[in-house]
């Protein structure tokens, strides 16, 4: 029998949460039944939507929602053999017994030199959001100029890099000087701190005197990640992400 650690929502919150809004508990798990698997968390995704859903879709005492990369350590489901990895909506848990519904297999030949955490970031939902926005929504073309808001985040940082590969000029806005420096490292043509500029209109003209063709509003590719170690630090990572302390995708390594 496996004992899991779980973070529960102890008290709902308005605005920014505090450590006291969460409680770490233990949970004894039963053995998997036919069709079920036992998962062990490897990486947990830290995402802004957790704040909204924890306020409207959860009650006190529920396990915090979230997505993780998990390893199958016991299996009675042939679709998910022992040793394989999945993307699982298991919340803030170190272990979980579940059926195969809702599990997304990660390819068995995943490159060894590529971290599985990227399945939650640049190769996962944020990366697909960036690609879809550029190709299907904006229809960005070579030679155009793109302005990216929240450019140092999980989606924006990938948007800028894809646009540069397509041969575009990219201007990014971010909320700190450190993040501006980070964007320049990623290859953005221009970047500025929107919190410190005297006139946003003048700064935009300075960054691109000829104007902008497209605007992406967020809120060989580099895949920026802000990784926090240890499951016990999940609340701190969540609070830090909401305060904008992360560079790129926020992940907790279990």
DSSP assignment string, 107-153: PTT--TTS-GGGGGTTTSHHHHHHHHIIIIII---TT-EEEETTTTB
Structure tokens at 223: 């895949």
* Beta-bridge partner residues of 190: 171
The predicted pLDDT at position 234 comes to 81
Q: Does residue 110 or residue 240 have the better pLDDT?
A: 110
pLDDT score at 9: 93
> What CATH homologous superfamily does 2-121+224-253 map to?
Medium-chain alcohol dehydrogenases, catalytic domain (3.90.180.10)
Q: Are 20 and 41 in contact (CB under 8 A)?
A: no
Residue 221's pLDDT is what? 43
The predicted-structure confidence for 76-123, as pLDDT tens digits, reads as follows 999 999 999 999 999 999 999 999 889 999 998 999 899 999 999 888
Task: Compute CA 205 distance to the chain's CA centroid, rounded to the nearest angstrom.
Answer: 32
pLDDT beyond 70 at 152: yes
Q: How far apart are CA 97 and CA 54, in angstroms?
A: 22
pLDDT the model gives residue 220? 46
Q: List, by residue range, all CATH 3.90.180.10 domains of the chain.
A: 2-121+224-253
Among the listed ranges 48-57, 113-122, 167-176, which one has the minimum average pLDDT value?
48-57
Structure tokens at 138: 């904006």
Within the chain, all domains assigned CATH 3.40.50.720 are found at 125-216
CATH code linked to domain 125-216: 3.40.50.720
| CA–CA distances in Å: residue 28 to residues 63, 66, 97, 219 | 14, 20, 10, 38
DSSP-derived pairing of the beta strands 169-174 and 95-99: unpaired
């Amino acid at each position: 029998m496996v004992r899991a650690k779980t973070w529960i929502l102890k008290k709902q919150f308005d605005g920014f949460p505090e450590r006291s809004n969460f409680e770490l508990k233990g949970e004894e798990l039963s053995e998997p039944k036919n069709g079920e698997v036992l998962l062990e968390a490897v990486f947990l995704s830290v995402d802004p939507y957790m704040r909204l859903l924890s306020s409207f879709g959860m009650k006190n005492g529920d396990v915090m929602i979230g997505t993780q990369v998990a390893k199958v350590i016991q299996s009675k489901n042939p679709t998910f053999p022992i040793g394989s990895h999945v993307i699982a909506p298991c919340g803030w848990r170190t272990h979980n017994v579940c059926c195969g519904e809702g599990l997304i297999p990660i390819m068995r030949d995943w490159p060894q030199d590529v971290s599985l955490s990227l399945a939650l970031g640049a190769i996962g939902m944020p990366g697909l959001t960036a690609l879809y926005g550029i190709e299907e929504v904006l229809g960005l073309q070579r030679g155009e100029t793109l302005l990216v808001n929240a450019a140092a985040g999980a989606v924006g940082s990938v948007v800028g890099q894809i646009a540069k590969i397509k041969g575009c000029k990219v201007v990014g806005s971010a909320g700190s000087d450190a993040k501006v420096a980070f964007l320049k490292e990623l290859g953005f043509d221009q970047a500025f701190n929107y919190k410190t500029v005297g006139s946003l209109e003048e700064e935009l003209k300075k960054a691109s005197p000829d104007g902008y063709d497209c605007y992406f509003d967020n809120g060989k590719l580099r895949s920026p990640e802000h990784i926090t170690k240890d499951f016990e630090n999940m609340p701190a990572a969540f609070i830090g992400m909401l305060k904008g302390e992360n560079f790129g995708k926020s992940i907790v390594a279990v």
